[in-house]
Amino acid sequence: MPPLIDEEKCTRCGTCVDICQSDVFAMPTEATIPDASHADECWHCGACVMECPAEAIRLRIPLPMMVCYK
């Protein structure tokens, strides 16, 4: 499941694009929000959530992974 980006909070700084180790995000143009074009590659590491200066990203962790974390 791809990370969710709140369009109202996103400042389009590109931090998530730079910080993501699995290249989930792409920035088509500077005027748009980052696109989770490779969502199936997401490791759910939370780096994008922690590094986003606008706190505009949240992860949707798949149910099987939630069971592992408990």
| Domain parsing of the chain, residue ranges | 4-69
Higher confidence at residue 2 or residue 24? 24
Higher confidence at residue 32 or residue 9? 9
Give the confidence band of 58 by pLDDT, cuts at 50, 70, 90.
Answer: very high
16: which DSSP letter? H
Distance CA 58, CA 47 (A): 10
Q: What is the mean pLDDT of the segment spanning 11-38?
A: 89
Task: Using alpha carbons, select from 54, 51, 49, 48 the residue that is nearest to residue 11.
Answer: 54
Mean pLDDT of the residues in the chain: 86
Structure tokens at 49: 């959530």
pLDDT at 68 over 70: no
* Fold entry, domain 4-69: Alpha-Beta Plaits (3.30.70)
H helix intervals, the chain: 15-19, 47-51, 63-69
Q: What is the mean pLDDT of the segment spanning 36-50?
A: 89
Question: What is the pLDDT, as a whole number, of residue 30?
Answer: 76
Distance CA 49, CA 51 (A): 6
